[in-house]
Amino acid sequence: MTADFAEFLTEHASKKVGNKPLFVPGLYDESAKYAWIPWKGPSAVRDSEIATAEERLRCTFPAGYRTFVQTVGPGMWADAGIAHPKTLYAFDEDLGSMSGFIALAYNVDGCGNSIAFNGRDSSNQQVYFCNHDPFGYAVAAASFEEWMQSVTHQKLSAPNKMRTFYTSMAPFRHVK
């Protein structure tokens, strides 16, 4: 676990944006009838749950994602639904260069788009902003940790500009 990042998460989890908390613990499962299920308090994910999900998906999750779910657990952070490892899945085979991407955060921009990593190349820690209209992706950050710190800064400093934050990512790669 990255100690500095865990410290950052612990420090920021209780911050507020206006009167809304930056972090709300819960389960985000877009395949469920109600995608967002709030919890009463944080629930850190156990190593065994991470190992089971990594084995099922045949990958190693980015270090920052592991630290996040082991420190504060899944939930809504800066309006992005950070998924529990048990709900993760790889994108379909017919998605061209996005095949094998695994979304770690859902509805990050309020428009149903996600943050994913390339599950076929676990040595690559980059995370990608995956857009469904137009369909494609862009590098969001060099790591999940870097993305979390950027999105946290953006949400705390300019909460009404989150959509612009994501649409300004370049270069955008269209996938057909």
Lowest mean pLDDT of 45-49, 59-63, 105-109, 148-152, name the range.
Answer: 105-109
Average pLDDT score over residue span 61-84: 94
Instruction: Quote the domain boundaries for residue 156.
Output: 3-174
The answer to whether the beta carbons of residues 83 and 92 sit under 8 Å apart is no
Give the per-residue pLDDT at 32: 65
175 band by pLDDT with thresholds 50, 70 and 90: low
CA dist 5 and 75 (Å) reads: 17
* Angle formed at CA 76 by CA 156 and CA 17, multiple of 5 degrees: 25
The listed range with the strongest mean pLDDT (2-6, 29-33, 124-128) is: 124-128
Cβ partners under 8 Å of residue 175, min gap 6: 95, 96, 97, 98, 135, 136, 137
| pLDDT category of residue 33 using cuts at 50, 70 and 90 | low
Tell me the pLDDT tens digit for each residue of 121-139.
Answer: 878 889 999 887 777 888 9
Strands 20-21 and 16-17: antiparallel
Domain count, the chain: 1
Confidence of residue 110 (pLDDT cuts 50, 70, 90): confident
Say if residue 1's pLDDT is above 60.
Answer: no
Q: Give the residue among 136, 130, 89, 91 at the shortest CA–CA distance from 112.
A: 130
pLDDT value of residue 136: 81
CATH number at residue 132: 3.40.1580.10
Whole-prediction pTM value?
0.88
pLDDT at 64: 96
